[in-house]
Each structure stands twice: as C-alpha cells, then as structure tokens.
Structure 1
Amino acid sequence: MILSSARLALLDVVSPPFRSALWKVLGLTALVLVGLWFAISALFERVAIPFFAGFVPDMPAWVDNAGPFASVAAGILLAFLLAFLIAPISALIAGLFLDDVAEVVERERYPGQPTGVPLPFLKSLLLSVKFLGIVVLGNLFAFALLLVPGVNFVAFFAVNGYLLGREYFEFAAYRYRPEPEAQVLRRRYRGTVFFAGLVVACFLAVPILNLLTPLFAASFMVHLHQRVSAREGGLTRLSPPPGPAARLGDPGR
C-alpha cells in the first residue's frame, strides 16, 4: 500500500497535470528568494556594517583594505542562508496549492470516486504555516547531522516521519471527512501513516529534490487515503459546511 502509493506520487509529480502547480511553486519561491537576497544585502550594508564599525572606530589598516574580501564572505554567508530557506519557503508557498494537487490526483487517478471538498482558505493557510514549521524543523535536524552523526540521524527521520505523515495524511482526509473523524482514522492507521511519513522524510533529506516535497507528499497521502478508505468501506464527499462528525471508533493515541 505504501510503496504503490509512493510510486504513483512520483509519477504524478512529473506528469503534465502537475506542471501548473509545480511552476507556480517554483516561480513564486524564486521571486521570494530574490526579494530576500536584496533585502538582506541592503540590511547588511546599511545596518550591520555601520553597527559593528561603531564599536571599533579605529580599525587596523589591513581591515580597511579587506573590504572586497568582506563582501565576498558576506555573499557566501548569504548564499548559505538562502539555501537553507529554499525548502521552507517552497513548503509555505506550496501549501497554498495543495488542494489543487489533491483535486488533480483524485480526478485523474480515481475517476470513479467522488472528488473531495477544498479546505477553507483560513484552514489551508494554517496548514501551510504548519508545513513550514515542519520543514524548518526537518532542515535544522539535517544541519545537526553534520555536527553529531548517529543520534541525530535517527531523530531526523523519527520526528519528521511522525510529523510529515500526520499532517499530510490529515490534509488528504479533511477533504472527505470532518476533522475529528480524520484524526481518528489517522490514529487507527498510525503505523502505516508513520512509515509513509518516513518515505516523505527521505524525500525531504535530498537537496534540490526537497523543493518538490509538498507536492509529492500531498499526492502520496491522497493515494494512501484512498486505499485506507477502501478498507473502511469507501468514500463519500463531504458537503460544505460539514455536519456533525460521524466518528469512527477512537482507538486512542
């Protein structure tokens, strides 16, 4: 179930119906990064350098002559900073298009099943912020891997496997189910969802490829939710506004 869903998600990411969302995410991410580059550069030149110069007014002559080298060093530092921000920014932006991605998967892959209901804007925005936090946390763990190998390697996949699996599966389920029911379903299949989250964490750990993590994860969890729902007796479309939750038997956390 997990492997077949992951295979379909990989095919989805490079398929023509996904290209619109892909180019939107990459284009907006590039615009935000360019804007940040100019903003941080201006802040460094106009605020940071004068601030530190105020503490050391009589700088040695060799420091005064090292201006070009300082600029190069600042540029390298800024490049590393923006490289760290690429994945979080793309996750935040992609979160706004996840319903489009889910709808494409449901329509193209499951034509005989009802199409889910897009999340309300505020709910979608909240999920985008949560996805941003998860990706930031994952990148911090990835950076820690360079410093203390072993324990942090396990922690990176354990934490991100749980968080990514939880949030993206619930996103796919919210399109068909009231929130309490979606959470209960996720708990019932907690092991499957966790291992699916590990697959997404592996995707997140690969530089450059991690730009596609939100799109891959959304497609992956839509496929997984479809398979889980088939075991539960099928899907019914959630009519907005949702009525009282028809709760599943809650097995507990």
Structure 2
Amino acid sequence: MLVESATAALRQTFSPPLRAILWKSLGLTLGLLVLLWLGLTRLVQAFQASHHISAQYPILDSLAYYLAGFGLFVVLAYLMPAISILVAGFFLDDAAAIVERTDFPNDPPGRPMPLGTAMFYAVRFAGVTLLVNLAALVIFFVPVIGIAAFFGANAYLLAREYFEMAAARFRPLPEAAEMRRTFAVRTLSAGCLMSAMMIVPILNLLTPLFGIALMVHLHKRLSGRRQLAAPVPR
C-alpha cells in the first residue's frame, strides 16, 4: 500500500499542475529568504556602525561583515525547509484537490479547509517543525542519537500534519486524528519516507507537495471508497 501510494505521489509531484504550484511556492520561499538575508545584513551593518568598528578597525570590520554574511547564509539554508513548508502550506488544499481529481476521478471531491484553519495549520506546523529541528540540531552531532532524533521527530510531525490535512477534507479533524492513530504504523511509515526526503538538501523542498499527494493516496486506500461518499460539511 505504501509503495503504491509513494509511486503515485512521486508521479504527481512532477506533473504539470503540481509542478506549477511547486515553482510558485519555491519562488515565494526564495523571496522571503532574500528579504530576511537583506534585513539581517543591514542589522549587522547598523551594529558595526553604532560601535564605530569601521573607523577603528577597518580590516576587522570587513572580516566580521563577511563572516556574519556567511553565518546568516548557513542559518537561512537551515531554515529553508521550514519556510518552504510554511509557504507551501497555503497551496496544499489546491494540491490535494488536483490529486483527488486526477487520480480518483470517480470519487466525490473533498472539501477544502476554511482559509483561517488552513493558515493556522500552516503556521503552526512550520513553527513546530522549526522548534523541533532546532532542538534536534543541538544533539545532531552526537553519534547515532542526533540523527535518530532528527529523523524520528520529523517523521512523527510530517505523518501527523499531512495525514490529518488530507483526511480533514473528508471528515472532522478529531476523526482525522483518530484515524491517524488507528493506522499509526502505516502513517508513521509514510512519515519516515518524508523525513528521509527532509534530510537531503534540495530534495527537501519537494517534501510538502510529495507529502500531501502521498497522504491523499494513503487516506483513500485506508478509508475505502464507500466511506468517502459524503465529505463532512464545513
């Protein structure tokens, strides 16, 4: 079941409709990162000017500026997956609808989340992902334990958020959460697959769209088509 769902999700991720959403979300993500980098570098320059470092130690000033710029680049590269998840979160309902329409054309379509709920989910998930990954980063370099913590935390978070988001298009949120717990082994296995993608640079940017496509397929297969005859009204 997981292999079939993952294969279908990968195909959908590179299909023209989802590819358009991918480019849109990546463009917004890069735009936000550039704005953050520019803002932070201006803060570094203002700090140096306020302490008169440029006048007293011009060589040290230049060195500090470039070191700070490199440090900010590393930090923003680390934040990129979380920011891409936040940005892509606003498009995931559209992506789920595309997957349902193209891969399950004979099934009734799901109902999108209200805009406020979708925004809350996107911001909450991005925030929790960032906090968990920052905590995991502290022990990342501890042999075995660090990598296991990073992998396990992301697997759980990705499984929980993406499955419930896909399921909530057809059932109330409490029921979606209960369904995830009922099929914990299968949903967590899917989360492990997504977590593996998160570890790989560049590939981790595909995680949001791949994840929602994967969970749409997994939810359909776990539910059975008869149970999806009447999506829950909003």
**Structure 1-normalised TM-score?**
0.85
Match for residue 97 of structure 2 among 84, 100, 103 = 103
Deviations 1:101-138 (A, max 9, x none): 00000000001111100000111011101220343145
d(CA) in 2 for partners of 1:187 and 1:67?
Answer: 55
Is the contact between residue 45 and residue 65 of structure 2 (CA under 8 Å) also seen in structure 1? no
Q: How many Å apart are 1:221 and its aligned residue?
A: 0.4
> Residues 6-45 of structure 1: matches in 2 within 5 Å?
6-45=6-45
One-letter identity of the residue aligned with 1:31: G
1:49 aligns with 2:42: no
Question: What do the CA deviations read for 1:91-110 (whole angstroms, capped 9, x no partner)?
Answer: 10100000000000000000
Instruction: Work out the CA distance in 1 between the residues paired with 2:194 and 2:127.
Output: 15
Measure the CA separation in 2 of the matches of 1:237 and 1:137: 37
Shift of 1:140: 2.8
Q: Kindly state the Cα deviation for residue 50 of structure 1 after the two structures are TM-superposed.
A: 4.2
Of 146-155 and 31-40, more deviation after overlay is shown by 146-155
Structure 2 residues not aligned, in runs of 5+: none
Q: Is the 8 A contact 1:134 1:164 kept in 2?
A: no
Match of 2:63, as an amino acid? Answer: F
How many percent of aligned residue pairs carry the same amino acid? 42
**Are 1:240 and 2:233 an aligned pair?**
yes
1:135-155 deviation digits (Å, cap 9, x = unpaired): 314543663465212112222
1:1-253 equivalences in 2 (<5 Å): 1-46=1-46, 48-50=47-49, 53=51, 63-137=57-131, 139-140=133-134, 143-144=137-138, 146-230=140-224, 233-241=226-234
Q: Matched residue of 1:116: which SS?
A: coil
Q: 1:86 to 1:229 in 2, by over 3 A?
A: same
Question: Gaps spanning 5+ residues in structure 1: where?
Answer: 242-253
Greater share of residues in helix: 2
Aligned-partner Cα distance in 2 for 1:137–1:10: 28
Q: 1:147 is paired with a residue of what secondary structure?
A: coil
Distance 1:238 1:76, change over 3 A: same
CA contact (8 A) 1:134 1:160 kept: no
Give distance in 1, aligned partners of 2:111 and 2:200.
Answer: 32
Q: Distance in 2 between matches of 1:177 and 1:9?
A: 22
- The RMSD of aligned alpha carbons is 2.2
SS at match of 1:86: helix
One-letter amino acid of the structure 1 residue matched with residue 17 of structure 2: P
Q: Partner of 1:81: helix, strand, or coil?
A: helix
* The structure with more radius of gyration: 1
TM-aligned CA distance change 1:237 to 1:50, over 3 Å? farther
Q: Deviations over 1:63-93 (max 9, x none)?
A: 4433322222122112112111211111101
Q: Which amino acid aligns with 1:238?
A: P
8 Å contact kept, 1:92–1:128 = yes
